[in-house]
């Protein structure tokens, strides 16, 4: 079936693009032009000016490009028509295409056809959606890497190793009646440990990969009136949070995003940590601990003029009793340096936490916080490692880890080789579903239904 849709964003613009694809794309589009345009004889992959007529009435002057199968985005005959961005013109051309035999494309149908026609595998198709949704340089880089096949290449390597493992087990099964053991169990266990390590690394990378895509969570915490909301507003360049000298003003978490040198961070301003008899404020403090628990980075803010090292250590001990901070990056932010004459020596020599000295009110030295945030990303070698960013991929990897543990237990319990081989083939099936070489229509429909129409 030949499909069509408007592929540019809704609304009025200078131009709009209408995409047509399918077996009858060329003869259908040919009917839009008068006899002066030799559309069918026009070379593929070349832009050409033309006029679209409805009977004798000129609808618009457009530029079209033909893409002949299989050298098109979705592997089928395709035409892209660039018209003026008037809503009327867009809808008029779309109606003319529908009247001549097209149907409206479903969300993601062009990309689904690209997948079904072998133009890309499933992770690459999913990367198209991520690329469209990317809001930062880092998210864009992750999507491009997946679109270019970085993740698919990693999965192909893992699949080859599992095929090798299956071959060793199958060889042993073929000679089981002669009581010959061809597979070196030490070699198999070493291979399993290697595969488990690689898949564990990928699975563990999902938290960071997902955070890089949607914004790394950064919790701003500290006692009341140390300047948390002022710092949030200063970093965002907007009065996002209410600022007041009254302790306990922030009673709930306030969130917003901040992009620094291409990486998005999701800041969470929290209620001040203190003992309170106010029930509503206590709810806010509980949410503070929840925000810290979910954050990758914690900015612990203090008033440098009213806090000692002993105060900081006591407060951090209190938070650690509530939350495990072992895997979190913690930065001590000493605020209100504009109100002091000299830096307290105890803080300048303290090395238990990385510390920056700022004035959120005067916006002094805030770039040090941004540099620390970037170092957090760089230390994880984001550009060099394959990261999981997709919840579907993460779920399948977790299942594969469980299958590997079943195989290990099978060897330990001296299970028959044929039962162990079943688990290896289950893993190969899961890898096939991940890349789309083994497809499930319900899964495909769920994935592509999230795409915008026209892509």
For the chain, how big is the Rg over CA atoms in Å?
29
> What's the token pair of residue 261?
């040198």
Residues 365-416 have pLDDT tens digits of 999 999 999 898 888 765 556 889 999 999 999 999 999 999 999 988 888 8
Q: Are 263 and 137 in contact (CB under 8 A)?
A: yes
Grouped pLDDT means (10 residues each) for the chain, 455 residues? 94 93 96 88 93 93 96 97 96 97 95 94 92 88 89 93 87 60 71 93 91 90 87 79 44 75 88 60 69 89 89 86 85 91 72 89 92 86 74 95 93 86 93 86 83 86
Fold of 150-210+390-448: 1.20.120
Q: Name the CATH superfamily, with its identifier, for domain 3-105.
A: Probable tRNA modification gtpase trme; domain 1 (3.30.1360.120)
State the pairing for strand pair 47-54/15-21: unpaired
- Vertex 257 angle, CA 253 and 259, to 5°: 150
| Topology adopted by domain 215-378 | Rossmann fold (3.40.50)
The domain limits of the chain are 3-105, 150-210+390-448, 215-378
pTM of this structure: 0.81
How would DSSP label each residue in 313-368? HHHHHHHHHHS--TTSEEEEEEE-GGG-SS--HHHHT--SSEEEE-BTTTTBSHHH
CB-based burial, 303-315: b 16+ in 10 Å, e otherwise: bbeebeeeebeeb
| pLDDT for 243 | 43
DSSP 12-29: --SEEEEEEESTTHHHHH
For residue 85, give the 3-state DSSP assignment.
Answer: coil
Residues 335 and 356 sit within 8 Å (Cβ to Cβ): no
Helices (H) and strands (E) in the chain, counts: 15, 12
Cβ(285)–Cβ(223) below 8 Å:
no
Task: Give the number of other Cβ atoms within 10 Å of residue 10's Cβ.
Answer: 11
435 vs 74: CA distance, rounded Å: 17
Quick one: 95 exposed, middle or buried, by C-beta within 10 A (0-12, 13-18, 19+)? exposed
* Per-residue model confidence (pLDDT) at position 423: 92
β-pair type (78-84, 57-67): antiparallel
> CB of 98 within 8 A of CB of 58?
no
Sign of the C-alpha dihedral computed for residues 9, 11, 13 and 17 taken in this order: positive
Alpha helices in 148-226 (DSSP H): 150-174, 185-214
Question: How far is the CA of 202 from the CAs of 151, 310, 396, 403, in angstroms?
Answer: 10, 40, 11, 16
Widest Cα–Cα separation across the chain: 87
* C-beta separation of 296 from 264 below 8 A: no
Q: How far apart are CA 45 and CA 134, in angstroms?
A: 28
The residues, ordered by sequence, that sit 6+ positions from 406 with a Cβ below 8 Å of its Cβ are 423
Six token digits for residue 239 = 């009065």
Per-residue tokens: 29? 């589009």
Q: What strands lie across the sheet with 354-357, from one edge to the other?
A: 254-260, 263-269, 216-222, 297-303, 329-335, 354-357
Residue 306 contacts residue 344 (beta carbons within 8 Å): no
CB-hemisphere CA count at 13 Å for 335? 26
């Amino acid at each position: 079936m030949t499909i069509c849709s408007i592929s540019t964003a809704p609304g009025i613009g200078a131009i709009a693009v209408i995409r047509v694809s399918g077996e009858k794309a060329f003869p259908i589009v040919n009917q839009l032009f008068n006899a002066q345009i030799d559309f069918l004889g026009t070379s593929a992959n070349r832009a050409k000016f033309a006029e679209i007529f409805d009977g004798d009435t000129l609808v618009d002057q457009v530029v079209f490009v033909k893409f002949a199968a299989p050298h098109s985005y979705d592997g089928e005959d395709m035409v892209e028509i660039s018209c003026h961005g008037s809503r009327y013109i867009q809808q008029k051309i779309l109606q003319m295409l529908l009247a001549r035999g097209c149907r409206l494309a479903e969300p993601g149908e062009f990309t689904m056809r690209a997948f079904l026609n072998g133009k890309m595998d499933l992770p690459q198709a999913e990367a198209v959606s991520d690329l469209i949704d990317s809001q930062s340089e880092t998210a864009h880089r992750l999507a491009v890497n997946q679109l270019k096949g970085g993740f698919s290449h990693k999965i192909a390597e893992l699949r080859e190793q599992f095929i090798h493992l299956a071959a060793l087990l199958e060889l042993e099964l073929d000679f089981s009646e002669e009581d010959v053991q061809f597979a070196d169990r030490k070699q198999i266990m070493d291979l399993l440990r290697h595969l488990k390590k690689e898949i564990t690394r990928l699975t563990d990378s999902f938290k960071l990969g997902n955070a890089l895509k949607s914004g790394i969570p950064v919790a701003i915490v500290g006692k009341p009136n140390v300047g948390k909301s002022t710092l949030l507003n200063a970093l965002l360049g907007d009065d996002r949070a209410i600022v007041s000298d009254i302790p306990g003003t922030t009673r709930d978490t306030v969130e917003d995003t901040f992009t620094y040198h291409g990486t998005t961070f999701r800041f969470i301003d929290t209620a001040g940590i203190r003992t309170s008899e106010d029930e509503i404020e206590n709810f806010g403090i509980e949410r503070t601990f929840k925000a810290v628990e979910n954050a990758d980075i914690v900015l612990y803010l203090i008033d440098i003029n009213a806090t000692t090292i002993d105060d900081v250590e006591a407060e951090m001990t209190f938070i650690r009793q509530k939350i495990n901070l072992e895997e979190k990056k913690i930065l001590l932010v000493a605020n209100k340096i504009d109100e002091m004459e000299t830096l307290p020596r105890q803080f300048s020599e303290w090395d238990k936490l990385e510390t920056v000295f700022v004035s959120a009110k005067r916006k002094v030295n805030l770039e040090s916080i941004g540099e620390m945030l970037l170092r957090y990303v760089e230390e994880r070698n984001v550009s060099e490692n394959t990261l999981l960013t997709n919840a579907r991929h993460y779920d399948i990897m977790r299942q594969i880890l469980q299958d590997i543990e079943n195989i290990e237990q099978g060897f330990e319990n001296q299970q028959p080789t044929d039962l162990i081989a079943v688990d290896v083939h289950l893993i190969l099936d899961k890898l096939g579903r991940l890349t789309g070489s083994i497809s499930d229509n319900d899964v495909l429909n769920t994935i592509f239904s999230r795409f915008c129409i026209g892509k």
